[in-house]
Amino acid sequence: MAALIAASAASAVEFLLLVAIPAFFFFFFFFGSGGWKRRQVLLPPVVGTIFHQFLNLQRLHDYHTELSRLHKNYRLLSPFGRQLYTADPAVVEYILKTNFNNYGKCYLLNTLNRLPFFMAALIAASAASAVEFLLLVAIPAFFFFFFGSGGWKRRQVLLPPVVGTIFHQFLNLQRLHDYHTELSRLHKNYRLLSPLGRQLYTADPAVVEYILKTNFNNYGKLREPQQELLMKSTMDSTFKIAFGFELDCSGGSNQDGVEFAKAFDKANEFTLLRYVNVFWRITRLLGVGSEAALKQNLKVIDEFVYKVMDIRFKQIVNAHQEKGDDILSKFLEEIKHPQTTMDTRYLRDIILNFVIAGKDTTAGSLAWFFYLICKDPSVQEKIHQEVKRVVLLETKECTDFVEFSRNINDESLNNLHYLHASLTETLRLFPVVPLENKVCFSDDILPGGYNVSKGDIVFFQPYAMGRMEYLWGEDAESFRPERWLDDDGIFQPESPFKFAGPRICLGREFAYRQMKTFAAVLLYFFQFKLSDEEKIVRYKTMTTLQIDQGLYLQASSR
């Protein structure tokens, strides 16, 4: 019965997403909203609706890559205005360079300007009911049957009682610890069903003593993936260089810093959900779901950033404290001038921009870089030999990390051409920001003759463009650093409009230096391989491209 209910719910949701809503869009856009006028101008073909993105959320960028192979330019129907997607370098160059004054930042889904609010609220309420049904009835019922398939075996061993599923934690996200406290009053030990493995919860001192003392060798921390270590390291270096502040995410001594880093990543993840959840304003108004969690994470971020600013400001006004050379100190000096237009909120935004540029760019790219060179050990060996030749000038061996690091300077970094090509090839296949957008400020015509109206959103896709054969050849999806080198092995950059655009981050060179330094030190001393060669690595759908579930590596000394 539970399986039947779950199947019925799934069918209803699938019908809603695949048939009813697209059909509504078709009639709304082409018959109810001046669609007959639109047919008089040249527009890219319609290949779906924004709801199809929801169905492909876990593989969003591959979904757009598939569409881009069929059409360089296309549209997805949306109730919030016209949305154009492009993988055409000519269009990217046009909106980012040729006519860049007409295209700017887009505050996505800013208004419900196409769909009456009552319709949006009605659909949102229906969707909320469907989601609530799935979380409270259908999915738990599925878990019951799924995990019960081998129940006759499990009944032969003693297990704590099942009191719910991990999805019930989601419903109690804002009061998670109180939720577990209530369960612990009923059961000292209990379980929540999960498709990720058995999860036991305890509030029994005897059990805690057993796993932490009596038999502690049999219990340990969940392994931390190398991607997370890279994230922490780059976060630390960014705060030290840019703000003169010891964050110590890697060591964990600064608990506020650790909480800030966690909140920062969660806020990044929840922000992208607005891209596929067209009713995010309603959930924000109601203070539920991901919007409630986002608000809480932003609060943690703000409190920490303002705390850092306050500490640095007090250090600067102290007459005995030397003025810092970090970026934040320079801005704080500026804010003391009576005629300055800067305020603390502006400085907060500057800090967060630097964190995004310094952390996600470097750590995320390094994680993909190590994944790719582990899949191709020959590239890893070539980089090792180049580092040995360039940094040490082949005059000696070095066994000390500090001594080796002292040999890394501007000249040696600039001469690591193969390493630079390998990092650039990584960014081609796994760009930091896989999908970007600009809003059109006034009516325009794009290269190819496509009409763009004021308020239209134009998405350009670095992830998809990096995989287009018409741009990179038949081996477009292959990791081949040599494509960036000339016959003499010197790095040769391609047109930025193929995969990024000229409006690159101001800290681009700093990010490259940071990545090359990390990679040079690690690859000189160690050889890396994947902990699980058979595991398929996927990305996490976020505003920045990160490896889902982390990256696990094994390192051996050279």
Q: What is the pLDDT of residues 24-43, one digit of tens each?
A: 545 444 444 444 444 467 89
Which residues pair with residue 452 across a beta bridge?
A: 444
Are residue 245 and residue 322 in the same domain, yes or no?
A: yes
Quote the distance between the C-alpha of residue 245 and its chain's center. Answer: 25
Nearest Cα to Cα of residue 334 among 308, 354, 312: 312
Task: Give binding residues for heme as ranges.
Answer: 505
Q: Residue for token digits 């001046």?
A: 34
The pLDDT score that the predictor gives to residue 319 is 52
Neighbours of 76 (CB within 10 A): 20
CA geometry: angle 367, 368, 371, nearest 5 deg: 90
User: Is residue 197, in this structure, part of any structural domain at all?
Assistant: yes
d(CA 351, CA 306): 10
Do the beta carbons of residue 242 and residue 350 sit within 8 Å? Answer: no
Are residue 343 and residue 301 in the same domain, yes or no?
A: yes
- Structure token pair of residue 51: 């709801």
User: Is residue 246, in this structure, part of any structural domain at all?
Assistant: yes
Are residue 232 and residue 205 in the same domain, yes or no?
A: no
Confidence band, pLDDT 50/70/90 cuts, at residue 190: confident
User: Is residue 479, in this structure, part of any structural domain at all?
Assistant: yes
Mean local confidence (pLDDT), 394-399? 71
The pLDDT score that the predictor gives to residue 94 is 93
Are residue 515 and residue 376 in the same domain, yes or no?
A: yes
User: Is residue 130, in this structure, part of any structural domain at all?
Assistant: no
Neighbours of 75 (CB within 10 A): 20
d(CA 79, CA 109): 9
Q: What is the pLDDT of residues 520-547, one digit of tens each?
A: 999 999 999 998 888 888 998 878 888 8
Mean local confidence (pLDDT), 205-227? 68
The pLDDT score that the predictor gives to residue 385 is 94
The H-or-E segment that residue 220 falls in is none
Q: Report CA dihedral (346, 546, 291, 21) to the nearest 10 degrees.
A: 120
Are residue 384 and residue 494 in the same domain, yes or no?
A: yes
- Of 220, 249, 271, at which residue does a domain stop? 220
The pLDDT score that the predictor gives to residue 133 is 38
User: Is residue 68, in this structure, part of any structural domain at all?
Assistant: no
- Among left, alpha and beta (phi > 0; psi -120 to 50; other), residue 248 is left
Our count of domains for the chain comes to 2
Q: Please give the mean pLDDT across all residues of the chain.
A: 76
Query: Does 115 score more than 50 pLDDT?
Result: no
d(CA 543, CA 352): 14
Are residue 422 and residue 533 in the same domain, yes or no?
A: yes
The pLDDT score that the predictor gives to residue 259 is 84
- Phi, psi angles (nearest 5°) of residue 530: -70, 140
Are residue 268 and residue 207 in the same domain, yes or no?
A: no
194: Cβ contacts below 8 Å, ≥ 6 apart: 165, 166
d(CA 459, CA 463): 12
Mean local confidence (pLDDT), 217-241? 62
Q: What is the pLDDT of residues 344-385, one digit of tens each?
A: 788 788 777 777 666 667 878 899 999 999 999 999 999 999
Range of the domain at 541: 226-431+466-557
User: Is residue 11, in this structure, part of any structural domain at all?
Assistant: no
Confidence band, pLDDT 50/70/90 cuts, at residue 386: very high
Polymer length of the chain: 558
Task: Give binding residues as ranges.
Answer: 505
Q: Residue for token digits 């309603």?
A: 282
- Of 168, 193, 220, at which residue does a domain stop? 220
Are residue 210 and residue 244 in the same domain, yes or no?
A: no
Are residue 258 and residue 322 in the same domain, yes or no?
A: yes
Nearest Cα to Cα of residue 9 among 126, 165, 157: 126
Are residue 531 and residue 386 in the same domain, yes or no?
A: yes
Question: Has this prediction a pTM greater than 0.75?
Answer: no
CATH number of the CATH domain containing 480: 1.10.630.10
Confidence band, pLDDT 50/70/90 cuts, at residue 404: confident
Confidence band, pLDDT 50/70/90 cuts, at residue 234: low
The pLDDT score that the predictor gives to residue 67 is 95
Query: Does 225 score more than 60 pLDDT?
Result: no
